[in-house]
Chains A and B, each alone.
Chain A
Amino acid sequence: MARHSPGLKPRGLALIALVPLGFLAVFFVWPVVAILRLGLDEGGVLATLGTAEVWRLVGFTVAQAAGATAVAVVAGLPVAFLLARTNLPGLGLIRVIILVPFVLPSVVVGLAFRTLLPDGGVWAIVLANAFFNVAVVARTVAGLWTHLDRRAEDAARALGASRLRTFTNVTLPALAPAIGSAAAVVFLFCATSFGVVLILGGARLRTLETEIYLRTVELLDLSGAAALSLLQLGAVLAALSIGAIMRRRRETALRLRGKAESARRPAGGEWAVVVLAVLVVVLLLVPIVSLVVRSLSTADGWRLDGYRALTGFGYEGSLEISGLDAVRNSLAAATDATLIAVTLGTMASVVLVSLARNKVRYVEVIDTAFMLPLGVSAVTVGFGYLVTLDLLPGDLRTSAALVPLAQALVVTPLVIRIMLPVLRSIDERLRQAAASLGASPWRVWREVDVPMAGRSLLTAAAFGYVVALGEFGATSFLARPDTATLPVAIARLISRPGELNNQMAYAACTLLVLVTVAVVAIVERVRVPVGEF
C-alpha cells in the first residue's frame, strides 16, 4: 500500500519524470533501436554471430575486462583499507590522486600508457583499463568499510583469530557486497572501454566496442556492427542487473552501520597493507607524470614547443581547426552538456527517490534504465544519432548541439549516482517534521532536500564537467572537423606523422590533466561522497 509521504503528488512526479525519460527515449533508445533494426533488416546477423572471428573478439573483450577488473580489485582493496580504517595524515591528497584517473579522458590515459609501454599489447590495455577503475573499487569498498562496525572484528580478535583470519572470516564477507558491486561496474566500464583500446590496440587488438566502430566507420558493414551491438547490449544488461542486485545488498549492509569510530592508527601487519596502498597510489601517478614530462621534453631538450603549437593547426595542417579552437569547442560543449545532465539527473533523482519513499515497486528497473547509457557502446549511440535525428525538426544531425546532447547522455547517469544516495540518506521524518510545521510538498523540497543535497549537486556538476570534457566515443563520431573537441583533436594528432603533432598531443593531454586535477581537488574539499556505484 502506498504510504502518505509529505512529498510530491503523483501527477507532479509524472510530469518531472517525463523530461528525463523523454530525453532517454529520444536521444538513447530511439537511436540504439534504429541501429539494431538497421542491422537486423539487412540480415546477416546470424551469419555474423556465427563466425569464429566474432567469438574471438568476445573472448578477448571478456578476458581483458576480467583481467583489468581483477587488477583493479587487487589494487583497490589496500587503498580502501587506507582510506576507511586509518587516520594517517595526507589521506585527503590520496583521495585526490586516486580519483584523478577515473575522470581522466580515455584518450589521455591511452596516450600516457603508450609513452610508458610503447609496444602496446594486451598488458598495456589491461593496465590502462585497471588504472581508470582503481578509484571505483577503492571508494565503493571504503564507503562500506568506514561504516562497518569495527567491534565485530574486535570480537573475533578477542576470540583468538589472527589479523589475517579476522580479515578473511569477518571483514571480507561483510565487504563482499561492495566488492561485488564495484567489480560489476568496473567490468562493465572495461568491457565497453573505447578510447584506450583504440589507441593501445590499434587494428591488432580489438574488442567488441572498437570493432563496432571499425565496422561502421571504415568497413561500412552495418549489419555486422548491429549484430555486435546487439550482443554487447545483452551482455551489458546482464552486468547491470547483477550490479543492481549487488547494490541493493550493499545498501542493506550500509544500514547496519556501527557508531564506533572506525579509523585508527595502523598496527602490526596493517602497516604492510598501508605500504601496499601507498605503492598503488605511486603507481597511479607514474602514467600521469610521464605524460607531463613527455610534453615538456623534446629532441632539443626541455621546451614548450608543444604548448606553443596549440595555437596552430599541427604539423602540415593535421587539424582543420587550431588547438585553441578545439579547447574552446571542448569548454563550450562540456558546459552545455553539464547543464543538460545536471537538470536531467536531478529530475531523475527526485523521481527515483520519491518513488522509493512511496514504496513503489520496480524503482530499480527505472534506476537501471537510467544507468544504461553508461554501458551501451557510445559508438553505437553516436552512429544511431546520425541515422535517426534527421527525422526531428531543425535538422539536429548537422547541428553543433549534437555533441553536448551525446555527452549529456553519458554524464547524466553519473549525476544520478552522485545525487541519489545523498537524497536517499535524508531521513523521511525530517521532511515530515517540515510538513507538520506548515511546509507544502514543494516547500519541503526547497527547505530540506535542496539545501542538504546542494553540495552534492555542485560535486555532480564538477564531475560531469570533466567527464564531458574527456568524452571520446560518441564525440569522435558526431563532431565535425570544425567542431572537434580536444580529445578528438588529440586522437587525430597522434594518428598523423610528425614529431610536432605528438608534442602537441602531449601538451593538450597535460592541459586536460591539469583541469581534471583542479576539479577533483575542489570536489574533494567540498567533501561529498563520490564514486560509489
Chain B
Amino acid sequence: MLVVKNLTVRYGTLAAVSDVDLAVNDGEVLALLGPSGCGKSTLLRAVAGLEPPAAGEIRWDDTDLANVPVHRRGFGLVFQDGQLFPHRDVAGNVAFGLRMRHVRAAERRTRITELLELVGLAGYEHRTVTQLSGGEQQRVALARALAPRPRLLLLDEPLSALDRALREQLAMDLAGVLRVAGATALVVTHDHDEAFTLADRVAVMRAGRITQTGPPDEVWRRPADEDTARFLGCGLFLPGHVQDGVVTCELGTAPLPWAPDGDVTLGLRPTALRLAENGVSGKLIRSVHRRDHVRLQVRLDSDDQLVDAVAGIAETPGDRVHLTLDPDGLAVVR
C-alpha cells in the first residue's frame, strides 16, 4: 500500500505540490484528476522517485522511500507517449524489466507472450517499435511496465496523446487489463471520462492540493466545492432545497434520492436541463449538433439568464422552448 503524507514538492520557490496526503490500497486503481498545471504529474514523479520532495514522506507499507532510488522502488511507469526503446523490438522492450531482474530467457519468453496477449498484441514480438501506431505503442509501454510485476503502476496521462475514438476504446481495454492483472495503480489524467472509466477511487487536485477523494460517482454527484464542480462540467450554480429526496429550485423540481435534506447549492451540467413540453420557458438562441445530442443555448424569460440545455433533435433558433430538470445532470455542492 502506498502512503503519501504531507508531501510538498518545490520548483525553486514555487510549490508544485503542497502538503498532500494520499493512499493507494493494494489492488486499487486511484486516479489523480485535475487541470493541467495542477501538480498531479509532479506528485506522480515524486512517487516514482524522479522529483525530490521538499517535505513530507512517501512510504510503501512500512518502508520510507526517501532513500530508495528509482530503479529500486519496483514501480512501473507509463508515459503519455510510450517512450519505447527505439533500438529494441517489441519483445525486447517488454523483456527489459525482466532482464534487469535476471529472469531466465525461457521464462521471459513465456511472460512476453502472456503480456502481449493481455494487451491485445499477440504475435507482435518482432515488430519494430517505430512502425507501431500510437495506440499500439501505448499497449507495448503498458506490457513493458507490467512485465516485471511492479508493486505499483504509475500512469502519466497514458491516453492523452491518442485521438478521441481510440482513447475511449483504449480506456476500456486499459481498465480491463488493470483488473485482470490485479494491479495497484496511480493514474494521472486531466480527462474525467478517463478517470471515471479507469479508477476505483478519484482524487481531484487543484493548485497543488487535493480537494476531494472518493469513489467516481460520489465525486461526480457531490463535488467538494464550486471550482471542483466547474472542472467536472457544471456551468450554472443555483440555490436549492432538498426535502425527502426531492430538490426544488427556481428552474423546477427533480428527484435526488441520494441528496441530504436541507438547503444546498446545485451545480447544473448542460444535461441537467432538457427540452420538454412544459417547464420553465425561454427563447432558443442557438442549437448545435454534438456527437450524441444537440446542445441548446436558451435565454430564460424569467430573468434573461443564458443557460445551456440538451435536446434529442435540433430546433430553430428564435423559437420559444420549455425546459425541465433532469436529475442525471445535477450535482450537489457540499
- Residues of A at the B interface (CB closer than 8 Å) are 1, 3-4, 6, 427, 429-430, 432-441, 443-444, 447-448, 451-452
Contacts and interface: CB of A to CB of B under 8 A. Distances in A.
A432 B51 contact: no
Interface stretch (B78-86, B207-215, B233-241, B254-262): B78-86
Nearest to B13: A1
A315 B248 CA distance: 113
Contacts of A451: 87
Contacts of A439: 71, 96, 100
Nearest to B73: A436
A433 B51 contact: no
B70 A6 contact: yes
A441 B154 CA distance: 20
B148 A437 contact: yes
Nearest to B78: A433
Which 4 pairs of residues, A with B, have the shortest CB-CB distance?
A: A438-B100, A437-B97, A436-B77, A435-B70
Contacts of A427: 83
Contacts of A429: 79, 83
Kindly name the residue among A3, A4, A433, A447 whose own CB sees the greatest number of chain B CB atoms within 10 A.
A433
Interface in B96-140: 96-97, 100-101
Contacts of B144: 433, 437
A448 B92 CA distance: 12
B115 to A, nearest CB: 13
Nearest to A1: B12
Interface string B49-60: 111100000000
A447 B99 CA distance: 11
Contacts of A436: 48, 70-71, 73, 75-77, 145, 154
Contact of A434 (B50, B52, B69, B96): B96
B329 interface: no
B12 A438 contact: no
Contacts of B85: 430, 433-434, 447-448
Contacts of A434: 85, 96
Contacts of B141: 433
Contacts of B5: none
A13 to B, nearest CB: 16
Contacts of B79: 429, 433
A447 to B, nearest CB: 7
A4 B77 contact: no
B283 interface: no
Contact of B96 (A1, A432, A437, A441): A437
A407 to B, nearest CB: 32
A469 B122 CA distance: 53
Contacts of A4: 49-52, 70
A435 B71 contact: yes
A452 B70 contact: no
Contacts of B50: 3-4, 6, 432
Interface residues of B, number: 31
Nearest to B76: A436
Interface string B223-253: 0000000000000000000000000000000
A432 B70 contact: yes
Given A429-B83, A433-B83, A447-B85, 8 more contacts: A1-B10, A3-B50, A4-B50, A6-B50, A430-B83, A433-B79, A433-B144, A436-B70
B74 interface: yes
Nearest to B82: A433
Contact of B74 (A6, A438, A443): A438
Kindly name the residue among A427, A435, A438 whose own CB sees the greatest number of chain B CB atoms within 10 A.
A438
Nearest to A429: B83
Nearest to A430: B83
A339 B100 CA distance: 31
Contacts of A6: 50, 69-71
Nearest to B12: A1
Contacts of B145: 436-437
A451 B88 CA distance: 10
Contacts of A448: 85
Nearest to B87: A451
A429 B86 CA distance: 13
A432 B154 CA distance: 12
B8 to A, nearest CB: 13
A452 B51 contact: no
A440 B71 contact: yes
Given A1-B11, A452-B87, A437 B100 contact: yes
A432 B48 contact: yes
Nearest to A427: B83
B96 A447 contact: yes
B240 to A, nearest CB: 47
A438 B101 contact: yes
Contacts of A440: 71
A384 B39 CA distance: 56
Nearest to A438: B100
23 contacts: A1-B11, A3-B50, A3-B51, A4-B49, A6-B50, A6-B69, A6-B70, A6-B71, A435-B69, A435-B70, A437-B71, A437-B100, A437-B145, A437-B148, A438-B72, A438-B97, A439-B71, A441-B71, A443-B71, A443-B100, A444-B71, A448-B85, A452-B87
A9 to B, nearest CB: 10
B71 A433 contact: no
Contacts of B70: 4, 6, 432, 435-436
Nearest to B11: A1
A432 B71 CA distance: 9
Nearest to A435: B70
A431 to B, nearest CB: 9
Nearest to B81: A429
Contacts of A443: 71, 100
A521 B19 CA distance: 60
A512 to B, nearest CB: 35
Kindly name the residue among A4, A447, A452 whose own CB sees the greatest number of chain B CB atoms within 10 A.
A4
A68 B49 CA distance: 53
A427 B86 CA distance: 11
Contacts of A3: 50-51
Nearest to A450: B87
Interface in B239-298: none
Nearest to A440: B71
A434 B87 CA distance: 13
Contacts of B87: 451-452
A182 B51 CA distance: 38
A93 B50 CA distance: 46
Contacts of B86: 452
A473 to B, nearest CB: 39
B80 to A, nearest CB: 9
Kindly name the residue among A6, A437, A439, A451 whose own CB sees the greatest number of chain B CB atoms within 10 A.
A437
Nearest to A436: B77
A223 B148 CA distance: 68
